[in-house]
Structure 1
Amino acid sequence: MSRIWRSLVELQRIDAESLAVDQRLSALPAKVDAEHQRLASKQAALRDHEARGESHARERRECERQIAEREEKVKRLQAQLFQVKTQREYDAIGVEVTVLQREISDIEDRELALIEAEETHAREIEALRRAVDELRAGTAKEISRLESLREEAERTREVLLADRPRHASSLPDEILRRYDTLRLRFPDSAVVHAVESTCGGCRMGLVNQTMLQLNLGQRFTYCEHCSRMLVPQEKAG
């Protein structure tokens, strides 16, 4: 019976470690995706800032065009002042020049605001570019680390899976089937040790008959409360 106990304990260790490895492996794709998403989010923010910067630049160039257009009109109108023959024509041109100069002043104010916005955006874009470069390097490093973890976990799983049949084959079929069934309910505690007449799984007290059977080691023993497989404390490692 002691050989069976040892095989069960070792089999459970292998299965528990294999489960932990599988859980680590299953979590890795989400972690890789999260790294890509972080980088994509920062890159999207950079593109948004660059687009707004380009929009400000286009609007500023349009302001420059409008100013130049109005200044040219002012020059033509001022040249006409020397050709007018009546005061009424002179005054009309003066009014038109005044309106154009006011428009030029308003557009220049808008142009100045756009220049300031462009300068601010340029600084923000430069900072974002540095942040993207740093994050890209960090992402590549983290993904490389995760890939190394994946490779290591897969090697560990291969070793564990290769070792499992040796221990499983040493168990009677009935006990192995019972263990596999219990493992579905208790992935890492289908086999537990009994300590001071208490089940190491559910922590419930064990009746004297159960403890007697366990100590005699003549037949396999189960907890009467949770049905876990019991082994003596010194055999549970």
Structure 2
Amino acid sequence: MADFKSRRVTMVDTQVRPSDVTKFQVIDAMLAIPREAYVPADMQDVAYIGENLILGTGRVILEARSFAKMLDALDIGPSDLVLDVAAGLGYSSAVLAHMAEAVVAVEENADFAQEAEANFAAQSVDNAAMICASHAEGATKYGPYDVIVVNGAVETMPPSLTDQLKEGGRMGAIFAVGQLCELRIGRKIDGQMNWRLLCHANAPVLDGFKREAAFQL
């Protein structure tokens, strides 16, 4: 039987810590949450490789390095309410739930959402709730949020999502810029999003976050 705990420690020691991720709560959460429990059964053996895990239908679980750097910069605390967009099978939400007061996970793929709910139950994650809904629409009913995390790349960020962030709230997302992708951290100040580049990252662009092609004659 695979020693997933040792693999988890190795992931943190070789992918997370060397990437200047220093906050104890991030390290602790990524050591505590069994990544292998949130991937398809036939992918458990590769759950801890240092790259995005492909779930199909243009969706991934973000590589540990990029996800950890995002969390480190977002500075999530025990009183924060977090919206986790494109939560997939629930791994990101479980990590966030270990750090925050509560997590609202949004997943528009009904099969993924159902499996995530089962994973939360199996792993006793009782402060994360799964909502099957459009990623771009988020979950207005439960907001506003202290933190919003987007698990995938965006070409444009819809106001329908940023409107759900509290004043002073933080947001992490990967922006597709030409052929490159940039992990950015945003903060809402006076009702406007102010973004800064954190590092380069890679992920497929999520449906609902693609820029409409300009009309040309």
Q: Return the TM-score normalized by structure 2.
A: 0.20
Relative contact order, CA 8 A, sep 6+: which one is greater?
A: 1
Query: Which structure carries more helix by proportion?
Result: 1
Greater per-residue strand proportion:
2
Larger Rg: 1
